[in-house]
Chains A and B, each alone.
Chain A
Amino acid sequence: MKDRFGKDWSKLSGTQFWKRPQLSRRLFFKHAASAVGGYFLLPGRPMESIAKAAVSPIGTAKNCIFILMQGGPSHTDTFDLKVGSWTPAFMNPTSYGGMMFPQGLMPKIADQMDSVALLRSVKSWAAVHGLGQTWIQIGRNPVSGLSKIAPHIGSVVSLELGPTSKDRSLPAFVSLNTGTGPGNGYLAPEHSPFYVNPGGGGLGNTVHPGGVAAFDRRFNLLLDLDADVRDSNALGPAINEMATFNLSARKLMYNSDVDKIFSFDQNTRNLYGNTAFGNACVTARNLLRAKMGTRFIQITLGSWDHHQNIYQPNANLQALSRQFDNGLGQLIADLKQDGLLDETLIIAMGEFGRTVGNPNTTVGRDHFLQQAVLMAGARIRGGRVIGATDSAGLATADPGWSGDRDIKAEDIEATIYSALGIDWTTVRHDDPLGRGFEYVPKTGSFEYSPVHELWS
């Protein structure tokens, strides 16, 4: 059956969500060799007990910046560059110690290559935009029964790390230029993404339209009218949550520390490319500098869905890459200068890759499962690639990590948790379905695991 894109999914190999990648023979015997006799070959012996060792999260990161490249960037034109007759000169393919990168497309990031690792053995589960985007944000199949309650990865980070922040004035999970998408799931609302579209003019609704004097007058009147409500002692420990949120909101208003984060001048804007994405990158930098409780920042940058005229000069791929490069390149440089890069994991990825080789009849590229991911910061070893595809970029030729298979969204999720010092094997038992919520889903005959090779 074909869908609206004319794709017949049943013939697409690799959309086997249930059929998790199998253990390779090599890995299997590695486990088997450590076992006693053939006991572990018996059906029914759970894999967990074979790999029994308690997990050790890397824990080099305090923060995470997750850049969602909505639409699915062409991996063979960006992080897994394959040069062909179609490659325009402006891309200026350049080798960095054997790692090909489109220097002309992303010059600022190219300048930071020593801090950047490119994961090239990554394969998406689904070549459908919404499905794939949700998948990488919640780290599991959005169509599965659990999707109705599954929180965003950032919400789990908020739950785990939020309370450890010294200053908790700002939400732990801030989502820039995103607006909608997966939220806190079944977790408490304080872990939901705090959506902001930063323009450099301050945080929205933190200034009262009538001015600060008017606001104080009104707010005092409100407190006065509620005096017998908010005067708590006789009425139990907490007043009411509304008042609590109300007071927290008040703290964000006319707060010079908050203003410093969300207000910036034209020079700063220009430095980051003077785009909405650039503004988000400035804000991300400022959020981390301020250390006011924000630990997970998502930045969404759309329109990578280049089905047509992908190489048109100053449009499509080139124009979008320029935005991306000006923002992210400067962000990496600034964080490096601040010393914040070492404690911040940066990830940039789309929901899938794009078709390879010669472009399609409309000189574009269509949806494709193989993809590539950029990572930086958190003391990962940069200037190199993890994994490799075949010469065309069709499929993984060398996984390049201990999983010895394609890297999946769930493995990236585990990597984020590990970098942040979170036990990715955690199972919570407070979900409304009574099913047990696994941070990283444990489905199938092997476990997803972090790509710890990034640090080795």
Chain B
Amino acid sequence: MFWVKSTSVVVVTCAFVSLVSVPILPADEIESKPLQGCSFTAKPDEFLSAQSRIRSDISETTGKISRARYGAKQGETVPASEIPRRNLIDDEIFGKLASMNVRSAPVSTDEEFLRRIMLDLTGRIPSPSQIRAFVADSSADKRTQVIDDLLASEEFTDKFTLWMGDLLQNTATALSTSGINRQIDGRNAFYNYIRRSIAADKSFHDIAWETITATGNNYAEDNGAVNFLVGIQTAGGPVQDSFDMALTKTATVYLGMGHYDCVGCHNGRGHLDQISLWGKNATRTEAWRMAAFFSRTKWSVRNNQTTQYTDRYYNSTEVNNNPSGQYEANTNFGNRPFRCANALPPDPKTNRCLANQSITPEYRVTGAKPKDSDWRSAYAANLTSDPMFARNFANRLWKVFFNLGLVDPVDTLDPDRLDPANPPPAPWTLQATHPELLEKLAGELEQGYFKLRPFVKLLVSSSAYQLSSRYDSGWRADYVPLFARHYPRRLDGEEVHDSITQATGVPGKYTVQATIYRTAPTEAVQMMPDAFTSAMRLPDTAEPRSNGAVANFINVFIRGNRDTQPRVQAASVLQQLSMMNDAFVNNRTRISASPTLAAIAKISTNADVVDEMFLTVLARTPSQLERDRALAFLNKAGTNAAARNTAIEDLAWACINKVDFLFSY
């Protein structure tokens, strides 16, 4: 393998297999070369980094949503030094703004704050009475009070169960690897495990430990954690593909190091040179040593067809540990390039490796090896004490609330560019927008034993989180990494669903399949509630299977499949067609169906109707222009009750279709 340079284009590609015999190379020399089986073309000049695209998207969307709400009115910025500093986050954010002489957006209004904090912590919008009470409350700590109440609510558990379900990719079936799947029962067990963990504020440390070390049957109600590893088993290849997948998924989910996926096929050199300082020197052998911690893991599927209708565990997967064994680099087929000693290709005649190499577990950087035969526990111990573990969750949760990671994309953390005490050599720069802040946040998370709620409280209590998204005057795209304003986000499909049901007071009612492959009633285990009303409680993104129309409505907001399709925040024509015409919306914007609209229709003055409608649907008071025009529309309908009711329904529909309804801003 050689580098071929032509002008600015660097082409590395796999050589035609030489006809001459290949000399045995020293190990370090092998490791420095990309292996056969992969190719890469890099044009550094043309490479538009994902980070800068994310930032420019954020800037554009923020500008648009801000204009959508406030029209031509100017948001008034303030000197960063005037923003109250509530915790260490504010010291970092506003300290940097002040030092750069960049003004800050003002702190959000009470209405803005309440809607945002409710959507961000629970996925629900506030009711008019909640808004009125909050605005009228004159106590100094009212925001803290709301934060505490919401953190203690069941709705918070709902929302972060969904978030964790996305992160751990809980699905019944995995599209790309449907040779293995959790089935409905395993999905339910995993959902319940995640939900109970979030409800009990279980530490991420413990969740990581349990999901990595679990053994046993994946349908078992008390064994849900094992379903993480069930989703890792990889079809169409040797078991080493599953070991590699275990490394890839655990490193991505728990360490934010998605580039192990690349290194699982080839060394980083020639591939990650421009992207990751760590990755450019990472080798496939190192990845194997990490993956080797999983090499005693055994998956077996219980699929004796004669017991299909009687065995409660039919088609379940058992995960166990073999007492011995290691990662053998001796594969010649599957989903990744051949694994042979010295990176030599297999003998073309026999298709076997010329030499075998046994890889024993060794953790990255520390070189820690397992002390006993329980290799997965050793991996979990190393992983949870890896500094990347805390950084990963600090950065992921920051992104949840600030809508832009300190490092973004969140699964591209580069361990060699994060420590401000050890800055990388030029031309590399520290990776995070606020390197000290990320380290401090990671430290806070670690000191709080990786608990979700205290850390979330730290984030949302900051003035930085509570800034307005208004910043109409003097905003520049290059301010984006400074967090000088709040960045709006699109609501998830589940949040749109719940906002509509709440605004109209017409809940959904969904049942989720609890059992499959079983008919004997005595065997039935109640794993899911009989029915629930909130989309935030759906156990995966294919539900509600029992109501395809509603599933389709939520799907147009692109919630992903927790496998090959990620959750995406984007608009589409289909979304707008659904918002305007779908039965889900239109059946709920009828006074005859909606208790909230019926109550609004009973209000005698049209001006009060307008205000109540805006509070109910959009959780804010209307702008002067909105109020005037809505009022004119209602007045035109006259006093005839039927005509007035129709006008009120029209107004409800129009408010649901206003731009800001679909955002947390």
Q: Which residues of A contact B (CB under 8 A)?
A: 1-6, 9-10, 13, 15-19, 22-23, 40-50, 125-131, 133-134, 141-145, 147-148, 171, 180-183, 188-190, 192, 194-195, 204-210, 214-215, 217-219, 221-222, 224-229, 234-236, 238-243, 245-246, 248-250, 252-253, 427, 429-436, 438, 442-445
Contacts and interface: CB of A to CB of B under 8 A. Distances in A.
A166 B633 CA distance: 39
A427 B180 contact: no
Contacts of B41: 427, 436, 438, 442
B18 A224 contact: no
B577 A47 contact: no
Contact of B64 (A125, A204, A241): A241
Given A242-B68, A429-B46, A443-B39, A4 B180 contact: yes
Given A228-B625, A443-B39, A208 B581 contact: yes
Interface string B336-372: 1110000000101001000000000000000000000
Contacts of A47: 13-16
A242 B496 CA distance: 15
Nearest to B335: A143
A66 B626 CA distance: 48
13 contacts: A9-B236, A15-B236, A18-B37, A128-B178, A131-B178, A145-B265, A205-B582, A209-B583, A215-B580, A221-B629, A240-B67, A436-B41, A444-B14
A443 B175 contact: no
A381 to B, nearest CB: 32
A250 B576 CA distance: 9
A23 B348 CA distance: 12
B235 A253 contact: no
Contact of B574 (A188, A194, A436): A194
A218 B650 CA distance: 5
B235 A3 contact: yes
Interface string B1-32: 11010000001011111111010000000000
Contacts of A236: 63, 67
B551 to A, nearest CB: 10
A452 to B, nearest CB: 22
Interface in B568-622: 568, 570-578, 580-583, 586-587
Contacts of B630: 221, 225
Contacts of A429: 42-43, 46-48
A143 B574 contact: no
The 9 closest A-B pairs by CB, nearest first: A130-B178, A228-B71, A44-B2, A249-B576, A240-B64, A142-B176, A43-B18, A432-B50, A189-B570
Nearest to B11: A46
Contact of A209 (B18, B49, B348, B581): B581
Contacts of A215: 580-581
A44 B36 CA distance: 10
A45 B15 contact: yes
B229 to A, nearest CB: 14
Interface of B: 1-2, 4, 11, 13-20, 22, 36-43, 46-50, 53, 61, 63-65, 67-68, 71-72, 173-180, 234-239, 241, 245, 261-262, 264-265, 271, 274-275, 299, 301, 303, 315, 332-338, 346, 348, 351, 409, 542, 555, 558, 561, 564-566, 568, 570-578, 580-583, 586-587, 623, 625-626, 629-630, 633, 646, 650-651, 653-655, 657-659, 662
Given A144-B335, A224-B633, A433-B50, A130 B177 contact: yes
Nearest to B263: A145
A147 B41 CA distance: 17
Contact of A221 (B48, B654, B662): B654
A435 B40 contact: yes
Contacts of B573: 171, 194, 245, 248-249, 252
A12 to B, nearest CB: 8
A262 B629 CA distance: 37
Nearest to B585: A209
Contacts of B238: 9-10
Given A126-B236, A210-B586, A249-B580, A235 B564 contact: no
A6 B303 contact: yes
Contacts of B47: 429, 434
Most buried by B among A129, A204, A248, A249: A249
B177 to A, nearest CB: 6
Contact of A143 (B20, B64, B234, B662): B234
A315 to B, nearest CB: 21
A353 to B, nearest CB: 16
A16 B332 contact: yes
A39 B128 CA distance: 79
Contacts of B558: 183, 189, 192
Given A131-B235, A235-B72, A434-B49, A44 B336 contact: no
Given A15-B333, A148-B564, A248-B576, A436 B14 contact: no
Nearest to B659: A242
Contacts of A430: 48, 53
Contacts, number: 303
Q: Name the prevailing secondary structure of the B interface residues.
A: loop
Nearest to A203: B577
Nearest to A223: B654
B177 A131 contact: yes
Given A22-B17, A442-B39, 19 more contacts: A16-B334, A17-B335, A41-B20, A43-B15, A46-B15, A47-B16, A125-B236, A126-B235, A134-B175, A206-B577, A218-B653, A222-B654, A235-B72, A236-B63, A236-B67, A241-B61, A435-B271, A445-B15, A445-B36
A252 to B, nearest CB: 7
A245 B575 CA distance: 8
B299 A208 contact: no
Contact of A225 (B40, B626, B662): B626
Given A131-B236, A180-B561, A209 B37 contact: no
Nearest to B626: A225
A307 to B, nearest CB: 11
A182 B654 contact: no
Nearest to B65: A240
B13 A442 contact: yes
A218 B64 contact: no
B635 to A, nearest CB: 13
A108 to B, nearest CB: 31
Contacts of B303: 4, 6
A361 to B, nearest CB: 12
A19 B576 contact: no
A163 to B, nearest CB: 16
Most buried by B among A45, A190, A443: A443
B584 to A, nearest CB: 10
A396 to B, nearest CB: 18
B571 A245 contact: yes
A9 B18 contact: no
Contacts of A192: 558, 572
Contact of A19 (B241, B261, B333, B623): B333
A205 B578 contact: yes
B571 A18 contact: no
Contacts of A45: 15-16
B14 to A, nearest CB: 5
A144 B38 CA distance: 11
Contacts of B625: 225, 227-228
A227 B53 contact: no
A251 B116 CA distance: 33
Nearest to B652: A218
Contacts of B565: 182-183
Contact of B568 (A125, A171, A180, A189): A189
A444 B174 contact: no
A352 B229 CA distance: 28
B581 A41 contact: no
B334 A17 contact: yes
Given A4-B315, A171-B573, A208-B580, A143 B177 contact: yes
Given A17-B236, A128-B236, A209 B586 contact: yes
A202 B14 CA distance: 51
